[in-house]
């Protein structure tokens, strides 16, 4: 299915406006050699305070934040808005202080004591596939809304349609490598922010910005929106040509 896209103006610029799925952007920090974590798939410090603050602003201005189960199990991220001022701003607009937190988790492996359930107020969604063990999904349903879509893995396209129908217009994706591939390879990403830090991680098996099976034919094309120095790294913003 092709997604209808039209344009609207934001700060005088034309912006893509999706009628049937949210505006989707990926944000990631990577090393100078393109790695987003170490070979143990553990987080390592790539960016600094200025970048953390930028990420917090992106989170605070999104309706939902999404991660894959690989990231959930490796990093146990809370995915909350850290700045009190930004949380208050959201509340003043009648929103929850945190965006909806979504985990892509075919087999319902998200731990019930994960930080997304313990930290911060706001809705959580676990997207599972039809093959998810019923008892696991039932346990998780005490803490989150469960959306079942896809046979073996989560059907990301259908999920996005459902999220849009539920009022999610702006979706921030915070990794990891396999989820980024799943979204990009299905033409479901509009923009990518990459902070490239002044470190080299190395390791053939260390995750990169986008893993998955990769393309053999034509590569996914990007257009450069902006590129700026930030601390000792570079922040690049790309538009994805779907
Ligand atoms: N530096 C950064 O900015 C940053 C940000 C985030 C993460 N990370 C790092 O990235 C690593 C995790 O990345 P990862 O690639 O292992 O895991 P991931 O992308 O977080 O999660 C991938 C998993 O999602 C599930 N999934 C279900 N449906 C899917 C679909 N349609 N497409 C893709 N995935 C689907 C699959 O597991 P099931 O089949 O079991 O459901 C898949 O293995 C960690 O090392 C973490 O530290 C870095």
The answer, yes or no, to whether residue 5 has pLDDT greater than 70, is: no
Q: Which numbered atom of ligand 1 lies nearest the CA of 154? A: 28
pLDDT recorded at residue 242: 75
Q: Which residues lie with the beta carbon below 6 Å from any ligand 1 atom?
A: 28-29, 36-37, 41, 43, 46, 67-71, 74-75, 104-107, 109, 153-154, 156, 174-179, 182, 207, 211
Q: Would you state the pLDDT for residue 138?
A: 97
Pinpoint the alpha helices (H) of the chain: 49-60, 69-75, 84-92, 115-118, 134-140, 156-165, 177-185
- Give residue 68 CA to ligand 1 midpoint distance, Å: 4
pLDDT at 9: 38
Question: What class is the 24-240 domain?
Answer: alpha beta
pLDDT category, 18, cuts 50, 70, 90?
low
Question: Ligand 1: distance of its center to the CA of 158 in Å?
Answer: 18
pLDDT (mean) for 91-120? 97
By alpha-carbon position, which residue is closest to atom 10 of ligand 1? 176
Question: At 180, which helix (H) or strand (E)?
Answer: helix 177-185
pLDDT band (50, 70, 90) for residue 10: very low
Residue 76's pLDDT is what?
97
DSSP β-ladder status, 233-240 and 222-230: antiparallel
Write down the domain spans for the chain.
Answer: 24-240
CB atoms within 10 A of CB 91: 12
Closest-CA residue, ligand 1 atom 34, reads 179
Question: Ligand 1, from 173, 177, 210: best to mutate by most atoms within 8 Å of Cβ?
Answer: 177
CA 14-171-33 angle, 5° bins = 90
Helix axes 49-60, 84-92, angle to 10 degrees: 10
Atom of ligand 1 nearest to the CA of 156: 31
Task: Give the CA distances from residue 139 to residues 72, 99, 111, 148, in Å, rounded to whole numbers and listed in that order.
Answer: 17, 23, 10, 14
What's the confidence (pLDDT) of residue 157? 98
Q: Decide which of 135 and 2 is more confident.
A: 135
Give the residue carrying structure tokens 């892509």: 104
For residue 185, how far is the Cα from the chain centroid? Answer: 15
Instruction: Determine how many CB atoms are found less than 10 A away from the CB of residue 46.
Output: 21
What is the predicted pLDDT for the residue at 169?
A: 97
């Amino acid at each position: 299915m092709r997604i209808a896209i039209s344009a609207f103006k934001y700060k005088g610029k034309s912006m893509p406006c999706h009628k049937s799925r949210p505006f989707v952007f990926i944000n990631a920090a990577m090393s100078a050699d393109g790695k987003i974590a170490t070979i143990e798939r553990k987080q390592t410090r790539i960016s600094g305070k200025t970048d953390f603050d930028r990420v917090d602003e992106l989170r605070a201005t999104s309706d939902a934040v999404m991660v894959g189960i690989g990231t959930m199990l490796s990093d146990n991220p809370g995915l909350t808005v850290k700045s009190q001022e930004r949380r208050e701003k959201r509340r003043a607009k009648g929103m929850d202080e945190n965006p909806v937190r979504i985990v892509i988790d075919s087999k319902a492996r998200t731990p019930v004591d994960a930080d997304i359930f313990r930290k911060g107020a706001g809705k959580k969604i676990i997207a599972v596939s039809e093959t998810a063990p019923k008892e696991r999904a039932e346990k998780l349903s005490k803490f989150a809304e469960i959306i079942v879509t896809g046979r073996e893995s989560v059907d990301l396209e259908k999920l996005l349609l459902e999220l849009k129908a539920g009022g999610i217009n702006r979706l921030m994706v915070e990794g990891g490598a396999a989820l980024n591939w799943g979204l990009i390879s299905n033409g479901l990403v509009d923009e990518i922010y990459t902070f490239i830090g002044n470190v080299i991680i190395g390791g053939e098996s260390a995750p990169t910005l986008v893993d998955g099976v990769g393309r053999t034919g034509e590569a996914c094309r990007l257009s450069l929106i902006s590129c700026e120095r930030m601390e000792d790294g570079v922040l690049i913003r790309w538009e994805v040509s779907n």
